[in-house]
Amino acid sequence: MFPKLFDIGPLTVYSYGVLLAAAYLGGLQFALVRARNRGLDAARVMDLGIYIIVSALVGAKLLLVIVDADHFLREPADLLSLARSGGVFYGGLILAVVVGLWYVRKHQLPTWRVADVIAPGIAFGHVVGRIGCFLAGCCYGHETTVPWAVTFTNPLAQENVGTPLGVPLHPTQLYEAGAEAIILGLLLAVEHKGRPFPGRTFWGYMLVYGLSRFVIEFFRGDPRGMVLPNISTSQFISLLIVPLSVAMLYWLSRRDRGAVSVSAPSARPRTAKA
């Protein structure tokens, strides 16, 4: 597609880098608006967002190195190319969650309320980021004959990320962008439905994203590491995250129900009047 936007002298501006920055900044702004609307400390949420952005970048690249360890051991010079790659989303998500939990505990913020504020921002950022993947040609799909297949022709895409040229492929980048857009819509639509409890939006996101990622991985054609035969690293992580999300949703709903029961005033017997 369009891996390179333009050159400024010796500096090349890549479409993926621009959209990745837009994804992080857009997701952060979305979270800040939600934080203010819910009476949370926006300054703390801003600081948390910066921690999350940095840890997400580091975690995504770290998991990429782990998944492609054999390649980087054979070609250590390719480690320099990490500056042009986004890495593995799950690596960024996991490290961001760990750092985020540390931050909210340190500053005594309401953990699951903050997580609920941030979750839709993650989904929004992921939509934008996957469009960047599509423009760069990375995270491409298997060869296919479906009518909506895409064919990449830009040599820069093959040079940067190994995209096959002249071959119709599943547009897995758009599959995931579309799935994230649907997830974002669902999160916002059901956020106040039923009996909401702190943590429902965040763990609902983790659950539905884990399911969608597991399915989309079957259509991916890029090398990304296999943990088991026909099970990629991201699918294996999904197999861990999905049941964990179900367990957390169940536990948090029960805990919230118990808290409501304890805080509810006890009924006092009426005194008969003479």
Q: How many CB atoms lie within 10 A of CB 213?
A: 22
* 94: helix, strand or coil: helix
The mean pLDDT of 246-258, rounded to a whole number, is 90
The mean pLDDT of 214-236, rounded to a whole number, is 88
Query: Regarding predicted confidence, which is higher, 229 or 55?
Result: 55
Whether pLDDT at 221 is above 50: yes
Q: Which helix (H) or strand (E) holds 231?
A: strand 231-232
The DSSP symbol for 222 reads: S
pTM of the model: 0.86
Q: How far apart are CA 37 and CA 15, in angstroms?
A: 33
Q: How far apart are CA 230 and CA 248, in angstroms?
A: 28
Q: How far apart are CA 136 and CA 143, in angstroms?
A: 18
**Minimal CA–CA distance to 114: which of 48, 190, 208, 56?**
48
Distances (CA, A) of 60 to 30, 66, 107, 137, 204: 22, 10, 25, 18, 22
Q: How far apart are CA 149 and CA 127, in angstroms?
A: 19
End-to-end CA distance of the chain: 87
Beta partners for 12?
Answer: 7
Q: What pLDDT does 82 receive?
A: 61
Whether pLDDT at 123 is above 80: yes
Q: What pLDDT does 85 receive?
A: 61
Whether pLDDT at 56 is above 50: yes
| Tokens (6 digits) for 46 | 């801003």
Distances (CA, A) of 255 to 15, 201, 209: 45, 16, 24
Q: How far apart are CA 22 and CA 13, in angstroms?
A: 14
The mean pLDDT of 157-184, rounded to a whole number, is 94
Q: Which helix (H) or strand (E) holds 43?
A: helix 42-67
pLDDT in tens, 178-208: 999 999 999 999 999 989 999 999 999 999 9
**Minimal CA–CA distance to 54: which of 62, 42, 44, 64?**
62
Q: How far apart are CA 178 and CA 172, in angstroms?
A: 10
Greatest distance between any 2 Cα atoms in the chain: 95
The mean pLDDT of 37-60, rounded to a whole number, is 91
Is the Cβ–Cβ distance between 176 and 159 less than 8 Å?
A: no
Whether pLDDT at 263 is above 70: no
Locate the domains of the chain by residue range.
4-254
130 marked ligand binding residue: yes
Q: What is the per-residue burial (b if ≥16 Cβ within 10 Å, else e) of 23-54? A: bbebbbebbbebbeeeebebebbeebbeebbe
Q: Which helix (H) or strand (E) holds 228?
A: strand 226-228
